[in-house]
Each structure stands twice: as structure tokens, then as C-alpha cells.
């Protein structure tokens, strides 16, 4: 079983839709949770960072961590064509080792 | 956050040759990493670049194939040696924050081996 599981998609939504991206994990020691956005031919860009459980909101983006279910989510409200990218989840138990999902490809259609 | 640059941004190389990729960070960082990202795949950690000592390689990666240097806290190089078409990939440099709780990535080097 992989440490981190992420549905690769692709996911295609109309502009303005709410997008939900998810990852599950198996290691209960994970404490640090991240979401990265990667545009085509670019390096991953840190989008959201969460420590332990709970929600974190930043503009149209909300990151949610449910440690009891070993499940994390990224919600994008009022999605825009500029949100079209691959979204990678990542997590770490201590900060010395990082585990990445395979990425979900998102296309927002104008 | 940290600003990371990589050189070259892309290259096309012949089989059997070597390419050295440079990674420069705008501030001193403790931890630097080198990743490979193949099409449709997740990030695969190649090694952790240690300042002043040999890099720590992940399973499946060896120093002879991917020698790494880290002469100071802001710079590292990764060499892809004796390349084959299977080495065609994006190579990414990343750094961890001081608290080591998250990472920032460079723009990547897109390598094609013919």
C-alpha cells in the first residue's frame, strides 16, 4: 500500500464550480500536510500548509485535515480557468521525510 | 519562503553523456533535496544534499549515476551521468524550511535524452 493515495483524475469542471481534491494516507504519524499546485512545465508551488487536524482558509482555497479518517481535502471555490493545473498533496511525520501523492489534473472550462 | 533557481531550464542530450544541473537558493537553508518527476508520476526523491558531506541517496539511486555536490548552504548540483533515454524526466531541486515542516521547489530542469 502506498503511503499517500491521490486520485489522478483528470478532473474537468465548469468555471465557477466548487472543486474538491482529496488524498488518503496510511501513516498515522503524519502531522504536516501540504497542497502544491503545479502548472505545466513548472515546478510545484506551495499552495496551502496545515499542521495537524482542522481547516485552513486562504481566499478561495480551503484545506481540511481529518486525522481520524486519514483524509485530507483541498476545496477551491469559484474556480477559475487559471486554476487549471495539477494539484499534489504532500505530508510529513517530522519534516525530514516528505511523501507526495501522484497529483490530480484539474481543468476549469470557461 | 525561499526563491530557488535552476539551470538549465531544459536540455536535450545524447545517450552516454552527462549533464550537471545547478540549484541556487536566495537564502541559507539546511535541507536541500533533489527529485525526479516522470510524466504522469509523482515526485521521486533522489537524494538529500548535505552541506560538507556526502549526499544521502534513496533506494534505487546511486552516487555513481547521480553525483551531488553541496559546497555551501545556498548552492547544490546534481549530475546525471552516462545518460540513457530512461533518464528523460523533470529534475527538481527543493529546500525545506528552517522548521523542516514544508518544502519549496525550484522551477525544474526538463531533460530529454535521445
In terms of DSSP bridges, do strands A99-100 and A85-92 run parallel, antiparallel, or are they unpaired? antiparallel
In terms of DSSP bridges, do strands A104-109 and B4-7 run parallel, antiparallel, or are they unpaired? unpaired
Q: Are A22 and A7 in contact (CB under 8 A)?
A: yes
Q: Which residues of B touch A8 (CB under 8 A)?
A: 40
Q: Are A97 and A1 in contact (CB under 8 A)?
A: no
Q: In Å, what is the CA distance from B63 to each residue of A32, A68, B36, B56, B70?
A: 30, 40, 15, 9, 14
Q: Are B105 and A41 in contact (CB under 8 A)?
A: no
pLDDT for A35 beyond 90: yes
pLDDT for A84 beyond 90: yes
Query: Which residue, among B28, B31, B23, has the nearest Cα to B48 in the 3D structure?
Result: B31
pLDDT for A57 beyond 90: yes
Give the C-alpha separation, B9 to A42, whole Å: 10
What are φ and ψ of residue B85, in 5° steps?
-55, -25
Instruction: Scan for cell 514544508, then name that residue.
Output: B102
Q: Which residues of chain B have pLDDT under 50?
A: none
SS3 state at B85: helix
Alpha-carbon distance A16 to nearest alpha carbon in chain B (angstroms): 27
Which class for B41: exposed (0-12), middle (13-18), buried (19 or more C-beta within 10 A)? Answer: middle
Helix, strand, coil % over all residues of chain B, rounded to 5: 5, 50, 45
The per-residue pLDDT for B1 is: 74
pLDDT for A91 beyond 70: yes
pLDDT for A48 beyond 80: yes
Q: What is the mean pLDDT of chain B?
A: 91
Q: Going by C-beta distance under 8 Å and a sequence separation of 6 or more, which residues neighbour residue B37? A: B43, B44, B89, B90, B91, B92, B108
Give the C-alpha separation, A52 to A59, whole Å: 21
For residue B55, the Cα-to-chain-centroid distance in whole angstroms is: 11
The per-residue pLDDT for B100 is: 64
Would you list which residues of chain B are within 8 Å, Cβ to Cβ, of chain A? Answer: 1, 4, 6, 31, 33, 40-43, 45, 92, 96, 99-108, 110
pLDDT category at A1 given cuts 50, 70, 90 is: low
Of the two residues B85 and A3, the one the predictor is more confident about is B85
Least confident range of A23-32, A66-75, B90-99: B90-99
Contact between B107 and A42 using a beta-carbon 8 Å cutoff? yes
Give the C-alpha separation, B57 to B60, whole Å: 8
The per-residue pLDDT for B24 is: 96
Instruction: Scan for cell 502548472, then name that residue.
Output: A39
The per-residue pLDDT for A80 is: 97
Q: Which residues of B touch A41 (CB under 8 A)?
A: 108, 110
Scanning chain A, the segments in alpha helix (DSSP H) are: none
In terms of DSSP bridges, do strands A104-109 and A11-14 run parallel, antiparallel, or are they unpaired? parallel
pLDDT for A88 beyond 80: yes
Amino acid at each position: 500500500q502506498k503511503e499517500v493515495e491521490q486520485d489522478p483524475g483528470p478532473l474537468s469542471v465548469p468555471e465557477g464550480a466548487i472543486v474538491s481534491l482529496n488524498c488518503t494516507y496510511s501513516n498515522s504519524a503524519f502531522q504536516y500536510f501540504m497542497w502544491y499546485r503545479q502548472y505545466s512545465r513548472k515546478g510545484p508551488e506551495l499552495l496551502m500548509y496545515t499542521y495537524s487536524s482542522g481547516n485552513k482558509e486562504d481566499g478561495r482555497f480551503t484545506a481540511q485535515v481529518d486525522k481520524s479518517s486519514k483524509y485530507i481535502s483541498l476545496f477551491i471555490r469559484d474556480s477559475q480557468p487559471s486554476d487549471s493545473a495539477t494539484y499534489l498533496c504532500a505530508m510529513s511525520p517530522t519534516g525530514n521525510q516528505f511523501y507526495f501523492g501522484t497529483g490530480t489534473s484539474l481543468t476549469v472550462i470557461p | 519562503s525561499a526563491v530557488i533557481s535552476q539551470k538549465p531550464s531544459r536540455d536535450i542530450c545524447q545517450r552516454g553523456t552527462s549533464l550537471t544541473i545547478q540549484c541556487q537558493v536566495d537564502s541559507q537553508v539546511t535541507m536541500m533535496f533533489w527529485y525526479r518527476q516522470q510524466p504522469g508520476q509523482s515526485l521521486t526523491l533522489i537524494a538529500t544534499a548535505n552541506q560538507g558531506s556526502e549526499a544521502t541517496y534513496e533506494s534505487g539511486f546511486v552516487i555513481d549515476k547521480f553525483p551531488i555536490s553541496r559546497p555551501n548552504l545556498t548552492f547544490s548540483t546534481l549530475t546525471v551521468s552516462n545518460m540513457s533515454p530512461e533518464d528523460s524526466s523533470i529534475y527538481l531541486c527543493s529546500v525545506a524550511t528552517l522548521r523542516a515542516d514544508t518544502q519549496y521547489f525550484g522551477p525544474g530542469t526538463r531533460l530529454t535524452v535521445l
